[in-house]
Structure 1
Amino acid sequence: MIMVLAGTKDGRIIAESLYEKGLPVLATTVTEYGRRLFKPGIDIRTGPLDKDTLRRVIAENNVDTVIDATHPFARDISETAIKVCGECKIEYLRYERKKAKEFYTDIIHVKDFDQTITVLEKYQHIFLTIGSKNLDRFAAVNCLPCV
């Protein structure tokens, strides 16, 4: 069984492509919304995966390969998957998307969320690609008023 740690469009495409080729696939997503985006027929596990849960899901589903196609900022699950795959002696593969800087030239790079909040206060319109885990930190950001 191939487990695809999804949660992104890329993860969905990978899982669906493997399924369409007739390979046994178990896709994972944290939210029910993520589950609803998959095509019918694919086995999907919904909910967060800590170390013990991931180990149990791997064992129960006879997983021999994990493809990590999670969001680039989803470090916790990626680190957990690397550890668990090593302990279970199964294959771990990481899907990496192209970096945004290859497509856009006017991106502002920051080192952490605190610096991001400071920088954002100078702008009217912001576009965050951080996922939902830390979104609440940005709800109170005072951006310039729209004119």
Structure 2
Amino acid sequence: MRVLVLGGTTEARRLAGMVADEFDVVTSLAGRTTDPLRPAGDVRIGGFGGVDGLTRYLRDERIDAVVDATHPFAAAISGNAAVACGASGVPLLMVKRPGWTAGPGDEWHRVASLPEAAGLLPGLGRRVFLTTGRQGLAHFAGLDGCWFLARSVEPPTGAVPPHLEVLLDRGPFTVESERELIIGHRIDVLVTKDSGGADAKLVAARELGVPVLMVNRPPTPDARTVSTADAAASWLRTLGR
């Protein structure tokens, strides 16, 4: 069975490692980082060219199943996969880790988008820990009253806030290191996306009483969905039989 994994996440790499010896697995990466963590099996890098390009790829490569294990905010490719698989008759499974839920001691302010987060930010704090990815920095470029610590894997491009320090790093991170980062940079507000999974910075923010601007996930296509790589592997094995 030939499987296309739409990847870039921990779940995608774990899945490829679990089933690469059983199936012909190709993981597709968007190509937004120059040195991505490579999964087991074959890897392709770059976009497909929209729904039509992905539909052609499924046909030309004789793909038997697609697992969409992209980031929860990769709405475009998830939507394209749902349409292309529906048109091609190729089974599709989505792997989306559960989102975060605020608990006792959390001060979260949920917003629908990065522009909404930028609008609310000055009322919550002035020293900002921004962990929304380098592509979202432009939404905060007009806030010259705030100082930003932005963490990303790659340097930002395009418009950025005028008072910005960039920290190039790749997780996972520990609660202790996140606590030291927040204290050392005198952070008084955290901005992040509801990506789900274990997240040390949210624990550190709770412990230190730092408010969080949490950007909600975009809507997902109507497709069969599981929350773990193990469940996706079981689905593939059942399909393969």
The aligned runs of 1:1-147 (5 Å cut-off) are: 1-19=2-20, 21-31=21-31, 33=33, 36-39=36-39, 42-49=41-48, 50-101=50-101, 105-121=106-122, 122-123=124-125, 124-129=127-132, 131-142=133-144, 144-145=146-147
Q: For the residues of structure 2 that align with 1:65 and 1:136, how far apart are their CA atoms? A: 37
The verdict on how the C-alpha distance between 1:81 and 1:143 changes in structure 2, with shifts beyond 3 A counting, is farther
The normalised TM-score by structure 2 is: 0.52
Aligned residues: 144
Structure 2, unaligned runs of 5 or more: 148-184, 187-241
Q: For the residues of structure 1 that align with 2:14 and 2:143, how far apart are their CA atoms? A: 34
Range with bigger deviation, 135-144 or 70-79: 135-144
The percentage of aligned residue pairs carrying the same residue is 26
The verdict on how the C-alpha distance between 1:59 and 1:38 changes in structure 2, with shifts beyond 3 A counting, is same
Range with bigger deviation, 132-141 or 51-60: 132-141
Determine helix, strand or coil for the equivalent of 2:129: coil
Query: How far 1:34 moved relative to its partner?
Result: 6.9
- Structure with higher strand content: 2
Deviations 1:4-41 (A, max 9, x none): 1112222222222221x4221110111163774114x5
Specify the code of the residue in structure 1 equivalent to 2:131: L
The verdict on how the C-alpha distance between 1:18 and 1:69 changes in structure 2, with shifts beyond 3 A counting, is same
Query: How far 1:96 moved relative to its partner?
Result: 1.4
Question: Stretches of 4+ moved more than 4 A in 1?
Answer: none
Specify the code of the residue in structure 1 equivalent to 2:111: V
The verdict on how the C-alpha distance between 1:103 and 1:9 changes in structure 2, with shifts beyond 3 A counting, is farther
Contact 1:30 1:47 in 2 (8 A): yes
Considering only CA atoms, is the larger Rg found in Structure 1 or Structure 2?
2
Q: For the residues of structure 2 that align with 1:116 and 1:48, how far apart are their CA atoms? A: 28
Structure 1, unaligned runs of 5 or more: none
Q: For the residues of structure 2 that align with 1:58 and 1:34, how far apart are their CA atoms? A: 26
Contact 1:125 1:143 in 2 (8 A): no
The alignment yields a C-alpha RMSD, in angstroms, of 2.6
Specify the code of the residue in structure 2 equivalent to 1:13: R
Deviations 1:35-83 (A, max 9, x none): 74114x5211111231122112212221111111111111111111000
Specify the code of the residue in structure 2 equivalent to 1:83: V
Deviations 1:86-105 (A, max 9, x none): 00001011111021226784
